[in-house]
Structures are given as structure tokens and as C-alpha cells.
Amino acid sequence: MAGRGRVWRSGAVGLCLLLLPLAGCGGGQSSTGTAMAEVQQVLDRRSAAVLGHDEQAYAETGTRSSYADLRAVPLAAWSYRLTALHPDGAGATADAQLSYRIQGYDKAPVTTDRALTLSRTADGQWYVTYDKPAKKSGQQLWDQGKVTAVKTAHALVLGVGQPTATLRDYARLADTAVPQVSKAWGTGWTQRVVLLVPGSLNGMAGLLGAPASNYKGIAAVTTGEAGGSGQAPADRVILNPEAYAILGTVGRQVVLTHETTHVATRAHTTAATPLWLSEGYADWIGYLGTDRTPTEVAPELARAVEAGDTPEGLPADQDFGFTDDPTKLAQAYEGGWLACRMIAAHWGEGRLGAFYRAVGAHTSRPGAVEDALRTQLGTTLPAFTTSWRDYVRAQLGD
């Protein structure tokens, strides 16, 4: 997410760099330094054109294809910082850091590394011919095609390769999710979500910079800064359109409400928060108001209980890993949901929220759950675990 600038000519120095990119004109370092200044000016012009919605000015700095792809994104800031330039004949490759903010959502810029390809004309002007994610950096949505934007009271939905009607449907689900989350958690958060909808599972993986196999069957994920300082880019809820599309109406709402809960609780979700609590709480809010029974929400755990294999303890963080064992992953989510459901039933919904915040307030994992159980629920971890096992059997058994 980015910015723009003005092309400069460099006279004799520029000609020397064109002919002798690494050594000449009194030293390669000086020539390269001059070229970097010139390229930075081009990137500044390019950034200004993005923010000013000036397609002609953008085209004067190089390829205009990315302009059309990102034009619909409501940007508050966009700039490049050139970090390295590698001359190559009549052109160069460059390393740059792109920073951008989405208007009304990001309190701090998103930063991402980019790899640029540049050409240079005979009169010394630089042009950007290609702008792509750097190695090991995830794609931005506009790297995958033209972005369509839909904005509602509580959501900004950005999609590629999706019908506008579909994006509007997702926005309506978000507008339902946000008040539901606020009712349970409170209103002390932005009460807005940014939803990214790529065209495929591969597109989702590209945004996350990870193999697609990691997310097959996962309907959505949320990215963000744990224990956020309040001065950070907004969380992005990223949909897997292939998995999300096969869900029913209730399933889609539950998933989006679950992810919205992660957005709301981000500042209170820290290294001290176990995944059984953060994922279980998100599921608990997600299923509020639905008519789903415990055995419908927790079918894998129900099968285990029926087979006499009730888990000995609360799900561990490693149980939530995306592995080749979907049953284990499902049971982890289901176990966390039942733990939060039990707290809400036995101690009250308000006390569940207070417990969540108390756990996250610890600076480290050791003792966090134990202390919060004692101060908020008046119990111990062994007693809580025993109660949870009894509750699982009671809710899922015959």
C-alpha cells in the first residue's frame, strides 16, 4: 500500500551509470547513490499519484497495471522507502519497503517488503516496470487482480475475482457479527472489521505467505498484533472462498462472528492466553443465539465421549495446529468452546469476559490461567479441569 514521485535527469552522472553501473565516474558508490536518489524520487511521485488518484501521473512513472488493481482501496497513506538498488545494464532491480494505511481502519501503517524491476531510458529517466512481493513476503490483495470494495456501517470488504453481490452478502454478515460481539464482549474496541476475500484458496495462501495445504478446509483466519498497543494496523479477516462457500447460512455467520471476536479481543489476547481460551471464546460468541446443540457443535468430541475417550485435560496449544489430523483439531476447538460455555453457564457471561481479560493481563503464560481461575472464578486448575471433564460428558453423553 503506497505513494508516488517525480523523475529526475542526472546529466553526465546518469549517463555514466547507464554505461558503467558498478564502477565509473569517480566511483561506483557515488553513482549508485545518485541513482538511488533518482529512483526514490520516482517512487515518491508514484506514491503521490496513488493517493491523488492521478492515473496519468502514475503512468509517467512506469507500468500502470497495479494502479487499476488497487484504485478501489480507500488509502490514507502510501509510500515506498528504497533500501537497495542493483544496477543491471540499462535497468536495475531494487528492494523497497512499502507502507500504507487504510482510511478509517489502520491506526499505524502496514509495512511489507517489495521487489521492484526498473528500466532507464537513453535520456536517464527511471521507470518502474514491475512491482511484486519480495521473497518470503506475502502478497497484497491487489497483487492478485483488481480489487472491488464494499463498505458498510461495520465492515470494509475488499475482494478479488468475486461478484460485488457476494461481497455485499459478506458485509451484511459482518454487520450482524459486530453488534453480537459487542453485546457479549463490550464496546471498547473499534467495532469495525476489514474483510479480505481472494478468488481462491491459493489466493488466501498467497496473502498469508504460506502453502495452500495449510489452510485447506479452514474457512477464515484473522491476522493481527497480539496484545495490540492500540497503534497498529487493523486486523484483517481473510476468507478462504472455497471452504466458506460450502457453509450454510448459519455456518457462515458463525465463522465471521468467530473471526470478529478475535478482532474485538485482540488487545487482551497475549502470549499468556492459551488457544483453548481464545478460540473457545470466539466460538462461544459465534454460536450465541443459534439453535445448535452441543452434539451438533462438538461432533468429534461427542464421538470420543461415546467411545469412552473423554480428554484428560484442556486442549494444548499444539492441538490447534493445522496438521493431517483434522479430528484432533476439531476436538481442540470443541473442547475450548465447551470450557467457555461452562464458565458462562456456571459463573455468568460477564465473569467469562472478566476471566478472559485477567488471563491476558499476565506478562507470561506460567500462572496466568491459574491466577485468573482463582481471582475471577474462585477455583483451581485441577478443580476446573475436573469440572470441565464432567461437563463434557454431561453435555455430549447419552
Q: Tell me if 245 is assigned to some domain.
A: yes
Q: Tell me if 2 is assigned to some domain.
A: no
The answer on 97 and 68 residing in a single domain is yes
Q: Would you say 173 and 164 are in contact if contact means Cβ atoms under 8 Å apart?
A: no
Range scoring the smallest mean pLDDT among 11-25, 41-55, 374-388: 11-25
The answer on 169 and 112 residing in a single domain is no
Q: Tell me if 65 is assigned to some domain.
A: yes
Q: Tell me if 4 is assigned to some domain.
A: no
Task: Decide: pTM greater than 0.75.
Answer: yes
Average pLDDT over residues 70-79: 97
Determine the structural domain holding residue 180 and report its residue range.
140-266
Cell numbers describing residue 227: 496484545
Look at residue 25 and tell me whether its pLDDT is greater than 90: no
Q: Bridge partners of 86?
A: 93
What string of DSSP letters covers 56-117?
Answer: HHHHTTB--HHHHHHTTS-EEEEEEEEEEEEEETTEEEEEEEEEEEETTT-SS-EEEEEEEE
pLDDT: is 224 or 373 the higher one?
373
The answer on 97 and 28 residing in a single domain is yes
**Per-residue model confidence (pLDDT) at position 228:** 60
* Tens of pLDDT, residues 119-172: 998 888 999 999 999 999 999 999 999 999 999 999 999 999 999 999 999 999
Q: Tell me if 185 is assigned to some domain.
A: yes
How many structural domains comprise the chain?
3
**Per-residue model confidence (pLDDT) at position 214:** 86
Q: Tell me if 1 is assigned to some domain.
A: no
pLDDT: is 28 or 279 the higher one?
279
Buried b (16+ CB within 10 A) or exposed e, 150-170: beeebbbbbbbebeeebbeeb
CA-to-CA distance for 386 and 297, rounded, in angstroms?
A: 21
Using the 3D structure, point to which of 107, 137, 167 is the last residue of a domain: 137
